[in-house]
């Protein structure tokens, strides 16, 4: 339901409290006290069948005794009567309820389930149960059991834990940190992270959103909401449970390595959230991001009046993976002229312990002018020689005098000691200040990571190669055959067919049931000078090396027979109850300078499939050099995944070892992601090792587990992906008025160049009619917003000339967070009007809206755009003047009937 009725949670006009109490140390007493102390300006009704008055305020016995219907009901009553209260409130038309009561259970038949059903039937929202409540300082609403009410501010805090929410409120009160809202989710019966992210993303009172997460319920909903919010404002998250343990029950290395927290980290990064490690970092990160805008680069210059503290800052920068800036020759010359002999002549810039305000100013101005740095950290150590306040004023004056280029540079300040005047001057200038150099460097790296995450959301991925062809039909047949036979694991022959269907190179194999059969199969390979590898074949043995079940580089028939006999004997001795089917016979692959990697698919119970990459080999779980990413992947995301591992360093050239073909490795990861999208029945997949060298990649061994696909996510689209994949099913051919045909397909992230070429063939007037203003320049950010779509909420369909590849037109639809309405836009190439392209694109878009389950399509059209208005009317849209803008017409189309698949 997303943001539906959440306005009544955070800005209600009327509130009722059910279960208020005069008893000390009761939740009912705390809520009564907090609501009254906050000065809520609306009407409050007190409902208590037990007490006729509470703290001098008269109560009514039942919710139905109130002569008005409250927007919000706060429930602190005993658990046994809460379901009945919720049912009554829903029937009365209450918009939302906050349930602080615990002990309502979970699962079918529980009191919580009955409450949810009653509320959902009437559209009433539930926050909780078992939560701290809600604080909305701007509305003077404190419907919580928190000890204090924080001041009004611009940070929204969403916490899964009531205790953490209460602690962060106290932290904020002690430091005069203001909030736009504080929300505790509790047991998350209805309102969840996704709903609240959608709400605060568009809340003008909220500058940044802070999250404390323990577990996500609806992963797809969370990912869509988080990505939308992160594009609008900073979202900072801290999650508990970071410890990682190898899963001893996993059957593949990929699954063993895919720790839950690592998957959460991959999800946060993919959505553009900034993850921090501790609660205090939440506020520090929000402070930094709020006071400093985005900036290009990651090179930090450090200025201090003491060498030791400057070096400590460098240590922290290196520890956090930052980059220390070099000083340009011009800057060195300027600093030589303004600083005394003996200054450091390098970064960090030590301007000597007796530095006064003018010396600080001269050094700051020189460093702000230096193009070789991207940000500046200024440190002051209090001394008997000069005033720390003078140094602070020198900094603020220098910042006031900055030119436009310099204003892009963020400046961080560390004023050691307790000089209130200095800190006040810095705060007045909105310079972020930190208690220590470590905190400041951490703030700098927060800013760098946030900027890089936002840039990644907008980056255009490279196009896939033309030979990126997969045969999903073969893969589907392989998996269906295994499922029909009741097998959980694909046999080696089927595994090879599956990977080959997706163009993943793998060593060919044959299966021998006995040692003599292995010798016969090996003979032709040996005859042409190849050597042979043998591996035990058993679906009951997860890792061949556990039973010494592999022999490499066998060069004779006798050696093959002997090795096969030994492998079979050892396997049967180690696993007497296992089905030992024989041995696998393969040519030995000798690539002495290849790196051993692992690539695979793991299954997460919350986020579904995750792509795993890292260092491979038999010690893969001991080394534990792995990273994860959520599919779908493009080449940019695949290279980014590779770059996060330690093994990525040795993919580059070193000594006499040529660089490995990293693009080939990235293509394997993209293909695995596509395989997971096409065949949701694949639950685990291991390629280990995947050899990579300058000649490309080849898989030496692979295992694949399958199971009937379980629907992990609600709504339309892929049953298991947390991120809605490219909707290939909406590709189709359309006929044009001149007898030719065009391909209609969803927009892809790599379509940047396609849109630029298209806009070049659209007249200025047509652009004005589409965008309601003259458009002369299309920035990368502008086009990225047209091509980088969350397919769960948006679709853009382009018509393509199949002969030339040119774009003929595009239509887009963006659904609101509640999936009630969708706003459309359309643009056709100016020389192609009258060919029926716009009409057909609109009809497909309407079909998509019906499939998505929307109730209405709406749009705005300039009054003079008669062609568009006529087409809308012919398609059944209602047309009326826009009530807010006399130059526009509002067009709406109700979507009738049940959604139907494409």
| Residues 571, 649: Cα–Cα separation, whole Å | 37
DSSP string covering 647-675, please? THHHHS-BTTBPPP-HHHHHHHHHHHHHH
For residue 319, give the H/E element and its range: helix 307-319
First-residue to last-residue Cα distance in the chain: 24
Whether 3 contacts 819, CB under 8 Å: no
Average pLDDT (367-374) is: 93
| CB of 84 closer than 8 Å to CB of 18 | no
Alpha helices in 320-356 (DSSP H): 329-338
Contact (Cβ atoms closer than 8 angstroms) between residue 538 and residue 513:
no
DSSP strand pairing (595-604 vs 532-537):
unpaired
How many angstroms separate the Cα of 410 from the Cα of each of 293, 368, 377, 885, 886? 7, 10, 9, 40, 43
Burial environment of residue 321 by CB neighbours within 10 A (0 to 12, 13 to 18, 19 or more) = exposed
897: left (phi over 0), alpha (psi -120 to 50) or beta: left
pLDDT at 902: 40
Do residues 791 and 718 touch, judged by C-beta distance below 8 A?
A: no
Q: Whole-angstrom Cα distance, residue 531 to residue 557?
A: 10
How far is residue 144's CA from residue 182's CA, in Å, rounded to a whole number? 9
User: For the segment 555-593, what is each residue's pLDDT rounded down to a tens digit?
Assistant: 999 999 999 999 999 999 999 998 999 999 999 999 999
DSSP state of 328: P
> Which of the pair, 256 or 112, is modelled with greater confidence?
112
Q: How many Å apart are CA 537 and CA 493, to the nearest integer?
A: 11
Q: Which helix (H) or strand (E) holds 97?
A: strand 96-99
> Quick one: pLDDT band at residue 77, thresholds 50, 70, 90?
very high
Is pLDDT at 56 greater than 50 in this prediction? Answer: yes
Task: Tell me the residue ranges of DSSP E strands in 579-731.
Answer: 582-587, 595-604, 608-615, 626-629, 682-693, 696-699, 702-706
pLDDT tier for residue 285 given thresholds of 50, 70 and 90:
confident
SS3 content of the chain, % helix, strand, coil (to 5): 40, 25, 40
Q: How far apart are CA 86 and CA 75, in angstroms?
A: 9
CATH 3.40.50.261 occupies which residues in the chain? 295-431
Say which CATH superfamily domain 295-431 falls into.
Succinyl-CoA synthetase domains (3.40.50.261)
Q: Pull the structure tokens for residue 831.
A: 């020389």
Neighbouring residues of 40: CB distance < 8 A, sequence distance ≥ 6:
15, 139, 140, 141, 142
Q: Where in the chain is the domain with CATH 3.40.50.720?
A: 1-135
For the beta sheet containing 14-18, the strands, ordered from the edge strand earlier in sequence to the opposite edge, are: 43-47, 14-18, 72-75, 96-99, 125-127
Structure tokens at 507: 């060593």
Beta pairing class for 125-127 and 133-136 = unpaired
Distance CA 684, CA 703 (A): 8
DSSP class of residue 484 equals: H
Mean pLDDT of the chain: 90
Q: What is the pLDDT of residues 160-188, one digit of tens each?
A: 999 999 999 998 888 788 999 999 999 99
Q: Is the Cβ–Cβ distance between 349 and 387 less than 8 Å? A: no
- 1-135 is a CATH 3.40.640.10 domain: no
Q: Which residue has the tokens 């038949």?
A: 109
> Per-residue pLDDT averaged across 752-780, rounded?
89
Produce one character per residue of 245-275: b if its CB has 16 or more CB atoms within 10 Å, e if not: eebeebbbbbbbbbbbebbbbbbbbbbbbbb
pLDDT tens digits along 26-43: 888 889 899 999 999 999
728-894 CATH pick, 3.30.420.10, 3.40.190.10, 3.40.50.300, 3.40.630.30: 3.40.630.30
Average pLDDT over residues 52-64: 87
Give the Cα separation of 6 and 899 in Å (integer): 27
Contact 538, 613 (CB under 8 A): no
Domain with CATH 3.40.630.30 in the chain: 728-894
User: Which residues, other chains included, contact 374 with Cβ-Cβ below 8 Å and sequence gap of 6+?
Assistant: 295, 296, 297, 298, 299, 300, 325, 409
User: Which H/E stretch holds residue 640?
Assistant: helix 635-643
pLDDT of 349 higher than 60? yes
Residues 524, 516: Cα–Cα separation, whole Å: 14
pLDDT of 756: 94
Question: Is the omega angle on the peptide bond into residue 637 within 30 degrees of 0, that is, cis?
Answer: no
Rounded to an integer, what is the distance from CA 639 to the centroid of its chain?
17
CB–CB of 49/24 below 8 Å? no
pLDDT range class, residue 900, cuts 50, 70, 90: very low
pTM reported for the whole predicted model: 0.88
- In the DSSP assignment, the letter for residue 235 is E
Tell me which DSSP letter residue 589 carries: P
In this structure, are strands 349-350 and 375-380 parallel, antiparallel, or unpaired?
Answer: unpaired
């Amino acid at each position: 339901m997303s943001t539906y009725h959440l306005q009544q949670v955070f800005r209600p006009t009327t509130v009722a409290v059910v279960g208020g109490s005069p008893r000390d140390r009761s939740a009912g007493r705390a809520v009564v006290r907090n609501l009254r102390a906050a000065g809520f300006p609306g009407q409050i009704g007190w409902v208590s069948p037990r007490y006729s008055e509470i703290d001098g305020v008269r109560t009514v016995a039942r919710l139905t005794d109130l002569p008005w219907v409250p927007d919000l009901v706060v429930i602190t009553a005993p658990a046994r009567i809460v379901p009945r209260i919720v049912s009554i409130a829903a029937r009365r038309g209450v918009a939302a309820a906050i349930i602080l009561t615990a002990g309502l259970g979970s699962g079918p038949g529980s009191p919580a389930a009955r409450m949810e059903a009653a509320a959902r039937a009437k559209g009433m929202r539930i926050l909780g149960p078992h939560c701290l409540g809600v604080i909305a300082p701007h509305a003077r609403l404190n419907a919580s059991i928190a000890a204090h009410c924080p001041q009004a501010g611009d940070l929204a805090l969403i916490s899964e834990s009531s205790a953490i929410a209460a602690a962060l409120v106290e932290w904020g009160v002690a430091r005069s940190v203001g909030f736009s809202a504080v929300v505790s989710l509790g047991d998350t019966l209805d309102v969840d992270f996704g709903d609240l992210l959608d709400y605060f993303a568009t809340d003008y009172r909220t500058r940044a959103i802070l999250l404390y997460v323990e577990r996500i319920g609806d992963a797809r909903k969370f990912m869509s909401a988080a990505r939308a919010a992160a594009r609008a404002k900073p979202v900072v998250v801290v999650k508990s449970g970071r410890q990682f343990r190898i899963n001893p029950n996993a059957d593949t290395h990929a699954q063993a390595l895919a720790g839950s927290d690592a998957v959460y980290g991959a999800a946060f990064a993919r959505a553009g959230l900034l993850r921090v490690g501790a609660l205090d970092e939440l506020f520090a990160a929000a402070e930094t991001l709020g006071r400093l805008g985005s900036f290009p680069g990651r090179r930090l210059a450090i200025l201090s009046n003491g060498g030791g503290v400057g070096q400590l800052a460098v240590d922290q920068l290196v520890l956090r993976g930052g980059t220390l800036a070099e000083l340009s020759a011009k800057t060195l010359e300027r600093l030589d002229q303004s600083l005394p002999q003996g200054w450091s002549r390098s970064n960090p810039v030590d301007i000597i312990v007796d530095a006064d305000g003018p010396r600080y100013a001269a050094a700051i101005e020189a460093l702000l002018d230096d193009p070789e740095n991207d940000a500046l950290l200024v440190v002051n150590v209090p001394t008997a020689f000069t005033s720390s306040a003078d140094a602070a004023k020198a900094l603020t004056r220098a910042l006031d005098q900055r030119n436009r280029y310099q204003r892009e540079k963020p400046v961080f300040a560390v004023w050691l000691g307790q000089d209130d005047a200095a800190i006040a001057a810095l705060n007045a200038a909105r310079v972020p200040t930190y208690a220590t150099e470590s905190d400041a460097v951490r703030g700098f790296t927060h800013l760098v990571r946030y900027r890089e995450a936002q840039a990644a959301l907008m980056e255009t991925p490279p196009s896939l190669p033309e030979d990126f062809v997969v045969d999903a039909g073969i893969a589907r047949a392989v998996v269906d055959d295994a499922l029909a036979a009741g097998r959980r694991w694909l046999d080696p022959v089927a595994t090879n067919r599956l990977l080959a269907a997706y163009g993943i190179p793998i060593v060919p194999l044959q299966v021998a049931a006995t040692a003599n059969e292995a010798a016969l199969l090996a003979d032709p390979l040996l005859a042409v000078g190849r050597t042979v590898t043998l591996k035990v074949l058993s679906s009951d043995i997860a890792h061949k090396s556990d039973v010494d079940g592999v022999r490499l580089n066998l060069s004779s028939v006798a050696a093959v027979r002997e090795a096969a006999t030994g492998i079979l004997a050892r396997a049967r001795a180690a696993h007497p109850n296992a089905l030992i089917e024989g041995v696998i016979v393969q040519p030995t692959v000798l690539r002495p300078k290849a790196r051993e990697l692992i690539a695979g698919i793991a299954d997460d119970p919350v986020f579904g499939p995750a792509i795993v990459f890292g260092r491979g080999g038999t010690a893969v779980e001991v080394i534990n050099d792995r990273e994860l990413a959520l599919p779908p992947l493009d080449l940019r995301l695949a290279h980014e995944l590779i770059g996060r591992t330690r093994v990525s360093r040795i993919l580059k050239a070193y000594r006499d070892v040529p660089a490995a073909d990293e693009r080939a490795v990235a293509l394997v990861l993209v293909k695995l992601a596509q395989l997971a999208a096409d065949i949701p029945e694949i639950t685990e997949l291991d390629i280990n090792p995947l050899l990579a060298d300058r000649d490309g990649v080849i898989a030496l061994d692979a295992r694949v587990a399958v199971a009937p696909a379980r629907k992990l996510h609600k709504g339309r689209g892929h049953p298991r992906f947390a991120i809605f994949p490219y909707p290939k099913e909406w590709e189709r051919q359309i006929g044009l008025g001149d007898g030719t045909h065009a391909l209609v397909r969803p927009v892809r992230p790599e379509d940047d160049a396609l849109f630029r070429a298209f806009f070049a063939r659209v007249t200025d007037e047509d652009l004005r009619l589409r965008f309601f203003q003259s458009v002369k320049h299309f920035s990368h950010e502008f086009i990225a917003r047209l091509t980088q779509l969350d397919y769960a909420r948006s679709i853009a369909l382009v018509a393509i000339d199949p002969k030339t590849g040119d774009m003929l037109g595009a239509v887009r639809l963006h659904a609101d967070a509640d999936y009630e309405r969708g706003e459309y836009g359309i643009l056709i190439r100016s020389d192609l009007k009258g060919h029926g392209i716009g009409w057909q694109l609109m009809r497909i878009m309407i079909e998509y809206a019906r499939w998505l389950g929307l109730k209405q399509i709406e749009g705005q059209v300039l009054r003079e755009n008669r062609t568009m208005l006529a087409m809308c009317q012919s398609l059944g849209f209602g047309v009326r003047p826009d009530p807010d803008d006399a130059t526009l017409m509002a067009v709406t189309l109700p979507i009738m009937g049940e959604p139907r698949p494409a």
